[in-house]
Structure 1
Amino acid sequence: MTSLIPSPSSSAEQTVVHATVGDPRVAPLLRELGDEYALRYGRNARAELARYPNEQFTAPYGGVLLLVLERGEPVAGGAFRRYDDTTAELKRIWTHSARRRRGLGRRVVAELEGEARARHYRRLFLTTGPRQPEARGLYLAMGYTPLFDTEADPETIGPLPFEKHLSTGKATAL
């Protein structure tokens, strides 16, 4: 079941909704994300999307999946899952390829931070691939601490881990 939950930063054109992985609006974006992983990392990279059971991205298991809709159409989204009692792990963050460079990724991460904070998580953890410099730049710009040597060749590191400690104040500004 999808619930429309307007975010404080919703506009007439954009709405943030909670969804499940089974929501038909999620499928095209996950498919595009899988295609992008395959393009950057090879055919077997699609398996990353199936690595965790879908229910881990639902409230009873400590997770959430959010979509940003423009005029009812999904343009971006992301999720988190419970990592441990105090940490949520950001996963499946994507922006439709035709809608990039408009701040939607930043909006998704900020919305996820707010949801994690509301659920009393105190820390966020995530990894991104070494062939995703846009994601690396986004997380650095949003105050995430790299848990790797930023001077090293990302290809020698593998998945690039980041963390962010959440304050009890407002989410990151959009």
Structure 2
Amino acid sequence: MIIRRARFDHPDAVKLNDEVQAEYAERYGDEGDATVLAATDFDPPNGVYLIAYDEFDRPVATGGWRSRDRNEEGNEDGDAELKRLFVVAEMRGRGLARRILAALEEDARAAGRVRMVLETGTKQPEAVALYTSSGYEPCAKFGYYRHHADSLCFAKRL
């Protein structure tokens, strides 16, 4: 696998984002994640967006982080928010999500962020298992879905 930095509006990022949104919609019976994201949210030094490519140069996994500081949605100063960590179905179980997660944590740490936070949901048990096995612990709810019953929030000190 080759992991490359990309903009969130890169065609491969858009393709994978459409796939993850379709999966969210299927799992939750809605339109997908309504969190507002802009391509500039992931521009260094305030974030990064990564895409993993297979040996045929097909985009197969993705993820990013964006800077978040204390706000009305429950973030704290120094937060790096994990967004759109996703692996296409046929490539799951190969450690790609774990590799991207580690790369994102390292990048956020190097950018001076002190805590990685993420929001997932009760209908994503694979994600919860990945995060808890990677040292993430439940935290106070934050973000767009902080008032939703299916929302689960986790954090890890960087």
Q: TM-score, normalised by structure 1?
A: 0.77
The sequence identity of aligned pairs, in percent, is 40
- What CA deviation, in whole Å up to 9, does each residue of 1:13-48 have, x standing for no partner? x11111012212212211110110110112322434
C-alpha displacement of 1:122 = 1.2
State the SS of the aligned residue for 1:27: helix
Root-mean-square deviation (CA, aligned residues, Å) is: 1.6
Alpha-carbon contact 2:23-2:32 (below 8 Å) kept: no
Alpha-carbon contact 1:35-1:46 (below 8 Å) kept: no
Q: Match of 1:63? A: 47
Q: Name whichever structure is richer in helix by fraction.
A: 1
Q: TM-score, normalised by structure 2?
A: 0.84
1:24-173 alignment runs, 5 A limit: 24-48=11-35, 51-59=36-44, 62-71=46-55, 72-84=57-69, 85-147=77-139, 157-166=149-158
CA distance, structure 1, for counterparts of residue 38 and residue 16 of structure 2: 18
CA distance, structure 1, for counterparts of residue 88 and residue 111 of structure 2: 27
Report which structure shows greater RCO (CA 8 Å, sep ≥6).
Answer: 2
- What CA deviation, in whole Å up to 9, does each residue of 1:27-81 have, x standing for no partner? 2211110110110112322434xx1222111115x11100111122211110111
Select the structure of larger CA radius of gyration: 1
State the SS of the aligned residue for 1:47: coil
Letter of the structure 1 residue corresponding to residue 25 of structure 2:
A
- What CA deviation, in whole Å up to 9, does each residue of 1:123-160 have, x standing for no partner? 11111011100000000000001127xxxxxxx84210
Total equivalences in the alignment: 143
Q: Match of 1:23? A: 10
| Unaligned 5+ runs, structure 1 | 1-13, 149-155, 167-174
CA distance, structure 1, for counterparts of residue 43 and residue 82 of structure 2: 13
CA distance, structure 1, for counterparts of residue 84 and residue 41 of structure 2: 12
CA distance, structure 2, for counterparts of residue 161 and residue 22 of structure 1: 26
After superposing on structure 2, the runs of 4+ consecutive aligned residues of structure 1 that deviate more than 3 Å are none
Alpha-carbon contact 1:124-1:163 (below 8 Å) kept: yes
CA distance, structure 1, for counterparts of residue 120 and residue 152 of structure 2: 5
| Unaligned 5+ runs, structure 2 | 70-76, 141-147
